[in-house]
Chain A
Amino acid sequence: MKKYLAVALGILTAIGGFVDIGDLVTNAVVGSRFGMSLAWVVVVGVIGICLFAHMSAKVAVMSGAATFEIIRERLGPRIGVMNLLASMVMTLMTLTAEIGGIALALQLASGVSEFLWIPLAALAVWFVLWRVKFQVLENVAGLFGLSLIVFAVALFLLGPDWGDLAEQAVQFGPRGEETSLTYWYYAVALFGAAMTPYEVFFFSSGAVEEKWTRRDMGVARGNVLIGFPLGGLLSLAIAACAATFLLPQAIAVTSLPQVVAPVIEAGGQIALAVAILGIVAATVGASLETALSIGYSISQFMGWSWGKSHRPTDAARFHLTLIVCVVVATLVLLTGVDPIMVTEFSVVFSAVALPLTYLPILIVANDPQYVGDETNGRLVNGLALVYLVIICAAAIAAIPLLVLTGVGS
């Protein structure tokens, strides 16, 4: 019974934890501009993140080493440090977007300027990182993040033409006044939003920190293979709300009030309150995960003592890294940069940085020295190679598309 409860809790946490500010904003933007014609990217992204998380968890459990310990070992310190820098810059950008997301959601609830909320949100994130236990932090954020199901409820209440939504979903290519370049730009952004590397750094480091064994692999597999696809459905619901309510009015999402406008229309103030709670929980959860991912990755690479369960005096450099990255993200936001714009950049750069960690994990997942008899089977390897091609194509195309479309405008 305890095991089933752990699986159920893990799945619920994975659903709530799947959606972060990147998924929220990108899906709403895409739904409001392209309808459901990019829904296929969410499906591709969800399968990809399941595959990546599955391989990372297996490597972490079987070798007892987390992602960046392996990257340093396999690539050596010189190439490894470039990999680390690129991945950390991207993750720091995501952390900045998440803290900005908390502030924007609180601004939406209170009307008080986001600039007052930014330092408070950052302080709260740091306090939770310092004081709250790993399990509590993960479960509470994930479970409250489930409030975002209000987008799925809103979709039903809006009463869309389901046939039309389905038709949009099978229509590839741009619609209306959009161009092919913007269509592919947002395809890459949506892919980057679904396959953010920090989720994998966090997942594999958590597996090492919580000392998962082979017996825990089943639970982990269940969490990933059920929780992430259900989280993907939540992303599709956000896009469908925008496609149903905003697209016909020519409202292209550029701000958080637009993201929640369909929910307000469908369910009024109660639905708005639930949506804000969900956004705050999702962004707080993702802020914690991204900050920890940075701390984990740098400490693993440098060979420092690391772990959420270590007291600050026992892992001083790890905890100092957490503080520094939260402070840097806060200072960036206080310059007045638009958090939504940071979010849009962060999902695109996620796609750029993805091959840097995906490839080493794929190689190690086939190395018996690390994973013993748990090397990838033919099916997983076949799929992993297809994804390697997709990931590399997205990484190569991301920056040219960003420049050519003027950040998707």
Chain B
Amino acid sequence: MAAHEGLSATATARQLVDQFHRGRTTGATTEVALETAATELSAALSATATVTPGSGAEADDLSEVRAALDDAADAVARARSGLSSGQGPGSASDLASAEAALRDLVGELGPPR
């Protein structure tokens, strides 16, 4: 579940940053989207902290999810600080890689549980 929520939040952040670079959206809207994505990623990370893995394989999955969520949260934080300092959110490539990693994980893990 946390990986799915993280993917949705990261994809949104990447989408809005990309739209910002193409001049389609405003800084204010991008800022709000990034703030929401940061909150959702933080909630997803907190949710993983409450999960107790039942087996070694599950523990591996969980640590992979946490690492991917951490990377995504860092990418969103960098975009936010760039935007708030007036330099713009930076390239969407960091967000895109974090999104791709989460997408791969979601593909491997299957439906939310």
Show the binding face of A for B, using Cβ within 8 Å.
Answer: 107-111, 177, 249-252, 254-258, 260-261, 264-265, 268-269, 272, 409
Q: Is the CB of A268 within 8 A of B8?
A: no
With A252-B8, A257-B36 already in contact, the answer to whether A111 and B28 are too (CB < 8 A) is: yes
Q: Is the CB of B31 within 8 A of A111?
A: yes
Q: How far is the CA of A254 from the CA of B36 in the complex (A)?
A: 9
List 7 A-B pairs, Cβ < 8 Å: A250-B7, A254-B36, A255-B36, A257-B12, A261-B16, A264-B19, A409-B1
Show the binding face of B for A, using Cβ within 8 Å.
Answer: 1, 4-5, 7-9, 11-12, 15-16, 19, 23-29, 31-33, 36, 40, 103, 106, 110-112
Q: How far is the CA of A257 from the CA of B12 in the complex (A)?
A: 8
CB distance from A110 to the nearest CB of B (A): 6
Contacts of B26 in A (CB 8 A): 269, 272
With A111-B32, A265-B19 already in contact, the answer to whether A258 and B24 are too (CB < 8 A) is: no
Contacts of B28 in A (CB 8 A): 108-111
The residue in chain A whose Cβ has the minimal distance to the Cβ of B103 is A250
Q: What does DSSP make chain B's interface, helix, strand, loop or mixed?
A: helix
The residue in chain A whose Cβ has the minimal distance to the Cβ of B31 is A111
Q: Is the CB of B7 within 8 A of A268?
A: no
With A177-B110, A250-B103, A409-B1 already in contact, the answer to whether A257 and B29 are too (CB < 8 A) is: yes
Q: How far is the CA of A108 from the CA of B111 in the complex (A)?
A: 32
Contacts of B32 in A (CB 8 A): 107-108, 111, 256-257
Q: How far is the CA of A255 from the CA of B15 in the complex (A)?
A: 14
Contacts of B27 in A (CB 8 A): 111
Contacts of B16 in A (CB 8 A): 257, 261, 264
Q: Is the CB of A250 within 8 A of B11?
A: yes
